[in-house]
Structure 1
């Protein structure tokens, strides 16, 4: 188990997100994954719950146009890894483009039988506002 394997799992997850590849994107998460998004009122407590929401967004014209990951950090904790990064995402929603700046934590769990890391929790937060100088 290595930091490089976790970084590669994260890279593949982001690449699937950017390409709007629903199957590859949701294939990067375990079935029991949970999701906390600052844009949702309630946590999503399964991959199926998030996928249902994702597909409703797509029906409403949601499309990922670009996504850049920076300031990446990995902490290995046995068969679990915590991946933190800053995310700049350009979206199209119902014909209007928007840019979001967020910080995300993804918890990956090693899946020895599959020989890979799968995300089991994702937490997305709005990027903090810069503090005024005093």
Structure 2
């Protein structure tokens, strides 16, 4: 009820990354080697205000609210907060111990190396949030 999935693909735009500590940031601002594929036709569009998360690391808090418009690896999931939802609140909520435990319980895979929280499972997770005014 509070987010929907953005599944738009784009090959053009600034390449963005996600980390647990920094959230969403331009890959060009990283000291890590860019190992993205040459062919970016399958990359996802990420808009300002979208929430992006690493499907393999959501249970560790690898998510962020985007301040950038660009593209992101297809390994990430992009969620659009509804007009009645504050994305900043969701990001803070998603990093609480209670929610991280919930994400871990809802991730699929045999070991922590393979746990994955795809959007269909993510979208069914229930949580309480205040009204936008609150």
TM-score, with structure 2 as normaliser = 0.29
- Structure number with greater Rg is 1
Q: As a proportion of its length, which structure holds more strand?
A: 1
TM-score, with structure 1 as normaliser = 0.29
Q: As a proportion of its length, which structure holds more helix?
A: 1
